[in-house]
Amino acid sequence: MDEIKNVIRQINTNLQRLNQDAKSIMFASVDDTAAQQTLLVNMGLMYGRAGESVLIVDTDFSNTRIASAFKLEPKSGLAEYIADTSITEAQMCSKLSTTMPVEVIVSGNTGNESQSSLLNDPRFDSLLNSAKNRFDHILINTASLPKIESLENLSRNVDGCILVVKPDVTEKKKVFRAYQQFRQAGTPVLGYVNINRTL
* pTM (predicted TM-score): 0.89
What are 108-147's pLDDT values in tens digits? 988 777 888 898 999 999 999 999 999 999 999 998 888 8
Interatomic CA distance for residues 46 and 43, integer angstroms:
5
Q: Domain spans of the chain?
A: 2-194
Share above pLDDT 70 across residues of the chain, in percent, rounded to a whole number: 91
pLDDT, mean of residues 12-30: 77
Terminal Cα distance for the chain, rounded: 11
Rounded to the nearest 5 degrees, what angle is found at the Cα of 185, between the Cα atoms of 8 and 54?
A: 35
Residue of higher predicted confidence among 62 and 33 = 62
CA-CA-CA-CA torsion sign (79, 82, 83, 89): positive
User: Which pLDDT score, from 0 to 100, does residue 7 have?
Assistant: 73
CATH architecture under which domain 2-194 falls: 3-Layer(aba) Sandwich (3.40)
